[in-house]
Amino acid sequence: MSVEARAYGSRALAILRDTPAMRDSVTAGALTLDSARRVGYASVDIESWRRWAEQVKNHVLTHLDRYLLQAEDRLRANGASVHWADTPADAAGIVSDLARRHGVRTVVKGKSMLSEEVGVNASLEAMGIDVYETDLGEYIIQLLGEMPSHIIAPAIHRGLDDVRALFHERLDTPRDAAPEVLAAAARRVLRGAFLAADMGITGVNFLVAETGTLALVENEGNIRLTTTMPRVHVALVGIEKLLPRFDDLATFLQLISRAATGQAIGTFVSLIQGPRTAVDVDGPDEVHVVLVDGGRSALLADPEAWEALRCLRCGACLNACPVFRQTGGHAYGWAYSGPIGAILAPALLGMEEGGALPFASTLCGACVEACPVRIPIPRLLHSWRDRLADARLTSRGERIGMKGYARVMTNPRLYRLASLLLRRLPGPVRGGRVTPVLKHWTAWRGALEPSTRPFHELWRDGIT
């Protein structure tokens, strides 16, 4: 996995400065999804659903060893093979070994953020295997050589004209092709890949411990084809993806769909019990489930951040976030972006690599309102900021600045002196035209003009 999370600031700045159309695409797409989510939430008793889902996931996480072992037993009884991967590299190694053992030449993939975290494509391509992303958005960014910029809408940063130009160059479609024509062109290429593929790789949305059922939600049908056509299906499963009971699926399938897109349920849900049986007409001969830790078991020990393990990867917090909507996911520099990425990064990447991301937030709280499992994201962002400051992993300038600010704001005499100085500063300095940080503000807006008299004087004189 390519990780450049520590460069968040410079990447975000470059996106905003160099590609304003990207911001327009991300903002429009995210606001559409957020609006649909609000409609989807409004037609059910969403607060009861969210509280219930939070408790179910907390129960799973506080009994995780038991449910993992139960799921392993059921999966094996159903004929699936179970592998355990301590690290993302271990998971990539398991998939590569399976590909080698089965003489795989072509792989089709369903969209999976865990596969991005693991870096499956790179390891398979290094073996000379053709890997096809089959989700339409993933296919677009694969052709562009980009990472996903959203958990459920990987090409959200690309507009129609971008795709027209790309497909004209790569698939020979007309320059002004309609979206239907573009989709049909991608379908033709990918249908060929499905028919030729030896292995299908997916993530999963849920793994039911009681029955060993893998549940995958989507809208295009590519995941159903990925788990149907090739002779080997490999499912990458984060160890936090468990549900205790088959009955729990009915609510979680609807909850994740409403949170992600506002739909009552995703268009296609695959509930997979294992490889094809004697009574099946088709389907894979082998199903391999790779249970991936990748820092999750250690995160479970964190007194606050463990709550991030409830995440369903629906993307609702991304759509609600005014900071994410400015840049899209590429600024975050790794698989998970937006508010959930900002709280997972220091835990899964380490505080040095992921420490910039908890600051990519206004702490407005929109994410916690959107989250289907009530992860207290702003509180966790605060917690990471405190820890980063304690570990002296914030910038030196910021530490000095905040220390000085605290000193001034907690001392009335210093506060009044600072206020006086600010009012007496020469115009260009006070107005921000030559002041660090402020000059970026005033490049696009009017200068800051402090009142000629301080507020406490105005208050004293009754002029407010």
Partner 1 sequence: MTSADSGRDRILARIRVSMSLRSPVPLPDRLGEPVEVASATNVVIDRFVHQFAAAGGEAVVHPDLRAALAWASVWCSDFPAAAVSASLPDALRPRLPAVAPADAALAVSAAIAAAAETGTLLLDSRDGRRLQLLAPVHLVWIPRASVYLTLRSALRMARGRQGAAIGLHSGPSKSADIGGVLVHGVHGPGRVIAAIVPDEIFAGTR
Q: Which is nearer to partner 1, 275 or 333 (CB)?
A: 275
Interface segment toward partner 1; rule CB under 8 A; list 10-18, 296-304, 342-350, 433-441: 296-304
Interface segment toward partner 1; rule CB under 8 A; list 281-289, 332-340, 390-398, 436-444: 281-289
Q: Decide: helix, strand or coil at residue 259.
A: helix
Residues 6+ apart with CB under 8 A from 456: none
225 CB burial (10 A radius; 0-12, 13-18, 19+): buried
φ, ψ of residue 156 to 5 degrees: the values are -60, -25
Q: How many residues bind partner 1 (CB under 8 A)?
A: 96
Interface segment toward partner 1; rule CB under 8 A; list 25-33, 324-332, 350-358, 438-446: 25-33
Q: Could you tell me the two tokens for 98?
A: 């399976």
In whole angstroms, the minimum distance from the beta carbon of 424 to partner 1 comes to: 51
Q: What is the DSSP letter of 271?
A: E
Q: Does residue number 263 form part of the binding site for partner 1 (CB under 8 A)?
A: yes
Find the binder of partner 1 among 27, 273, 326, 442 (CB under 8 A).
273
Interface segment toward partner 1; rule CB under 8 A; list 274-282, 320-328, 349-357, 442-450: 274-282
Q: Does residue number 10 form part of the binding site for partner 1 (CB under 8 A)?
A: no
Closest CA to 208 of 177, 158, 159, 251: 251
Q: Does residue number 55 form part of the binding site for partner 1 (CB under 8 A)?
A: yes
Q: State which of positions 304-363 bind partner 1 (CB under 8 A).
A: 306
In whole angstroms, the minimum distance from the beta carbon of 148 to partner 1 comes to: 11
288 CB burial (10 A radius; 0-12, 13-18, 19+): buried
Write each residue from 236 to 255 as x if it is in contact with partner 1 (CB under 8 A), else as -, in one continuous string. ---x----xxxxxxxx-xx-
Q: State which of positions 129-188 bind partner 1 (CB under 8 A).
A: 134-137, 140, 153-155, 158-163, 179-180, 182-183, 186-187
In whole angstroms, the minimum distance from the beta carbon of 218 to partner 1 comes to: 9
Q: Could you tell me the two tokens for 16?
A: 């905003």
In whole angstroms, the minimum distance from the beta carbon of 463 to partner 1 comes to: 51
Say how far apart CA 286 and CA 350 lie, in whole Å. Answer: 36
Handedness of CA 271, 273, 277, 283 (dihedral sign): positive
Q: State which of positions 356-415 bind partner 1 (CB under 8 A).
A: none
Interface segment toward partner 1; rule CB under 8 A; list 2-10, 15-23, 57-65, 341-349: 57-65
- Counted residue by residue, the chain has a size of 464
Q: Which is nearer to partner 1, 63 or 385 (CB)?
A: 63
Interface segment toward partner 1; rule CB under 8 A; list 54-62, 315-323, 345-353, 414-422: 54-62
Q: Decide: helix, strand or coil at residue 94.
A: helix
Q: Decide: helix, strand or coil at residue 215.
A: strand
In whole angstroms, the minimum distance from the beta carbon of 244 to partner 1 comes to: 6
Q: Decide: helix, strand or coil at residue 106.
A: strand
Q: State which of positions 77-116 bind partner 1 (CB under 8 A).
A: 83-86, 90
Q: State which of positions 190-219 bind partner 1 (CB under 8 A).
A: 190-191, 195, 211, 219
Beta bridge partners of 232: 199, 286
Find the binder of partner 1 among 130, 231, 283, 368 (CB under 8 A).
283
Alpha helix (H) residue ranges in 331-454: 338-348, 351-354, 366-370, 377-390, 396-409, 412-424, 427-430, 438-442
